[in-house]
């Protein structure tokens, strides 16, 4: 094993997969969490071969408290010395006014983006406390700073991440654990495809006429915050495409 470990949730796609590749390139061993086993195995094999790092894959739904807790706790002791936790697993479902929203979509977003993040953090923060060091990077959003029409529940979950990010930093302060929020604007990943439940045309339309951020842009920012000296913590970073001024204002050509 190498000397540093990063645990990344939502590592099969988008920002999480880009982080897995970047942290492996920097020599980190990885614990990768997501639901799609085949994709997890593919990325794990790719990184072990390309970068001579070790990878543990946890096929788990972060919404399932018993499963995610047991899987994390079942890791060998050496893997529990996590240096960087990237709380990235998350999603949006639907884009409807509050009176038309699907309550199952609301449950999925709240359970994944808020409760799933908490379940993982509960376990890993205790490991970090034991080791008296660690860095938790929470993936929030511009949607956690502002609200946009029909974004209601998704925005509420990301506002919750914003609050949790601040709360965690206070609670973990005596233990020397860093806590950082990375808040992206529009990033072209599977995000819109998931939001619009596989409607590729609608998903593509979100990014048409402007240059969105790419997952790599966010991974670069995460690497930057994770590689600061021990005495420096970046509390909060808001990263937007140049063509996006606010949550609801983009400039399309």
Query: Which residues contact ligand NDP by CB under 6 A?
Result: 9-16, 33-36, 39, 61-63, 88-91, 112, 116, 139, 141, 184, 186-187, 189-191, 194, 215
Cβ-contact 120, 68 below 8 angstroms: yes
Give whichever of 79 and 196 is closer to ligand 8X3, judged by the CB atom.
196
Q: Which is nearer to ligand 8X3, 20 or 247 (CB)?
A: 247
Among 136, 129, 213, 143, smallest CA distance to 181 is for 136
The yes-or-no answer on residue 154 being catalytic is yes
CA distance 235 to 182: 9
- Rounded CA gap, 82 and 26, in Å? 15
142 binds ligand 8X3 (CB under 6 A): yes
Partner in contact with 247, chosen from ligand 8X3, ligand NDP, none, beta carbon below 5 to 8 Å by kind: ligand 8X3
Only segment of 36-44, 60-68, 117-125, 140-148 that touches ligand 8X3 (CB under 6 A): 140-148
Q: How far apart are CA 252 and CA 31, in angstroms?
A: 39
User: Alpha-carbon distance 67 to 118, whole Å?
Assistant: 14
Of 6-14, 107-115, 135-143, 222-230, which segment contacts ligand 8X3 by CB under 6 A? 135-143
Distance CA 144, CA 218 (A): 16
H or E element: which one contains 58?
strand 55-59
| Window contacting ligand 8X3 (CB under 6 A); options: 39-47, 48-56, 119-127, 138-146 | 138-146
Which residue, 28 or 207, is less far from ligand 8X3 as judged by CB? 207
Q: Using the rule CB under 6 A, is 215 a contact of ligand 8X3?
A: no
Dist. CA 18–CA 61, nearest whole Å: 20
CB-wise, 82 or 109, nearer to ligand 8X3?
109
Nearest approach, Cβ of 108 to ligand NDP (angstroms)? 8
d(CA 12, CA 116): 16
* Residue 12 engages ligand 8X3 in binding (rule: CB under 6 A): no
Element (H, E) at 170: helix 152-172
Query: Considering only residues 54-93, where is the footprint of ligand 8X3 by CB under 6 A?
Result: 92
N- to C-terminal Cα distance for the chain? 49
Residue 203 binds ligand 8X3, judged by CB under 6 A: no
Closest by CA to 153, choosing from 195, 207, 203, is: 195
Among residues 130, 10, 4, 119, which one has the least CA distance to residue 58? 10
19 near ligand 8X3 (CB under 6 A):
no
Nearer to ligand 8X3, 109 or 123 (CB): 109
Active site (catalytic) residues: 154
List interacting residues with ligand 8X3 (CB under 6 A). Answer: 92, 141-143, 186, 247
């Amino acid at each position: 094993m190498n000397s540093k470990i990063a645990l990344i949730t939502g590592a099969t796609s988008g920002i999480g997969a880009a982080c897995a590749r970047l942290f492996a390139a920097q020599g980190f061993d990885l614990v990768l969490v997501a639901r799609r086993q085949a994709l997890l195995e593919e990325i794990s094999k790719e990184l072990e071969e390309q970068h001579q790092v070790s990878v543990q894959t946890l096929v788990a739904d972060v919404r399932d408290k018993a499963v995610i807790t047991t899987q994390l706790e079942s890791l060998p002791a050496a893997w529990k010395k996590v240096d960087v936790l990237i709380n990235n697993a998350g999603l949006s479902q639907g884009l409807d006014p509050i009176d038309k929203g699907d309550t199952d979509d609301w449950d999925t977003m709240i359970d994944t983006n808020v409760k799933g993040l908490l379940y993982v953090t509960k376990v890993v923060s205790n490991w970090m406390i034991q080791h008296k060091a660690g860095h938790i990077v929470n993936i929030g959003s511009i949607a956690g700073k502002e609200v946009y029409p029909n974004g209601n529940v998704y925005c509420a979950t990301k506002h919750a991440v914003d609050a949790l990010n601040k709360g965690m930093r206070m609670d973990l302060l005596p233990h020397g654990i860093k806590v950082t929020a990375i808040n992206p604007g529009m990033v072209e990943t599977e995000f819109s495809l998931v939001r619009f439940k596989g409607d590729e045309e609608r998903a593509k339309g979100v990014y048409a006429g402007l240059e969105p951020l790419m997952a790599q842009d966010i991974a670069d920012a995460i690497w930057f915050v994770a590689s600061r000296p021990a005495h420096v913590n970046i509390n909060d970073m808001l990263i937007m495409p140049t063509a996006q001024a606010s949550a609801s204002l983009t400039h399309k050509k």
